[in-house]
């Protein structure tokens, strides 16, 4: 059986933390990684984040006999760059990282999934993001909706550009739908 690399992406408030926790419980021999961005939104931050993800891909290549779940990776940086949240263009770095992920050494020992969570009913974001968070984690409904639309566009692009990354779009509107999707794919 192949090891799985599962990258879970989606907008703020879509339920990535809950989803990755459930997925981690469901799969044996699985590590869960929660990655956060770098506060530096300048070119020096761009260099830092590029190095971070290059090292992460090296790590992925060298792991054996473990499933890996990632709550956000460089796909987030690309979406945030497209939406103007950073002061640099991430697209060149993103394309390099995407190529490396799609062509990991010994690619035949991995199943790689990019899971895009989204809410079919975008009005649910108003309910989901009404939670107490630290100042740096405050969410905005319209921002989450814009992110969702960009993630769904990105999923289509990845599907067309890669040969080894399986794209799964998960409607994450209800716990029942979440459980159904988890059982269907994992």
Q: What is the pLDDT of residues 133-161, one digit of tens each?
A: 544 445 688 999 999 999 999 999 999 99
Residues paired with 169 in a beta bridge: 116
Residues paired with 186 in a beta bridge: none
Question: Total structural domains in the chain?
Answer: 1
Strands 110-118 and 30-34, how do they pair? unpaired
Name residues whose C-beta falls within 8 Å of residue 114's C-beta, 6 or more positions apart in sequence: 7, 9, 75, 155, 158, 165, 166, 167, 168
* CATH code of the domain covering residue 125: 3.40.50.300
Domain of residue 112 covers: 3-185
pLDDT tens-place string over residues 31-75:
999 987 778 888 999 999 999 999 999 999 998 888 999 999 999
Sign of CA dihedral 95, 74, 166, 148: negative
Question: Quick one: which of 35, 34, 11 has its CA closest to 125?
Answer: 11
């Amino acid at each position: 059986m192949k090891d799985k690399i599962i990258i879970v992406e989606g907008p703020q408030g879509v339920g990535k933390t809950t989803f990755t926790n459930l997925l981690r419980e469901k799969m044996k021999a699985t590590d869960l990684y929660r990655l956060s961005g770098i506060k530096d939104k300048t070119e020096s931050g761009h260099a830092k984040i590029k190095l971070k993800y290059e090292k992460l891909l090296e790590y992925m290549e060298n792991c054996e006999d473990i499933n890996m779940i990632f709550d956000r990776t460089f796909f987030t940086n690309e979406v945030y760059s497209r939406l103007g949240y950073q002061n640099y263009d991430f697209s060149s770095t993103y394309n390099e990282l995407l190529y490396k992920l799609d062509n990991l050494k010994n690619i035949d020992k991995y199943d790689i999934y990019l899971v895009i969570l989204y809410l079919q009913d975008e009005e649910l974001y108003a309910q989901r993001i009404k939670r107490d968070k630290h100042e740096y984690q405050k969410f905005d409904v319209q921002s989450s909706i814009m992110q969702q639309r960009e993630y769904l566009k990105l999923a289509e692009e990845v599907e067309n550009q890669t040969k080894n990354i399986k794209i799964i779009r998960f409607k994450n509107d209800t716990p029942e739908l979440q459980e159904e999707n988890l059982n269907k794919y994992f």
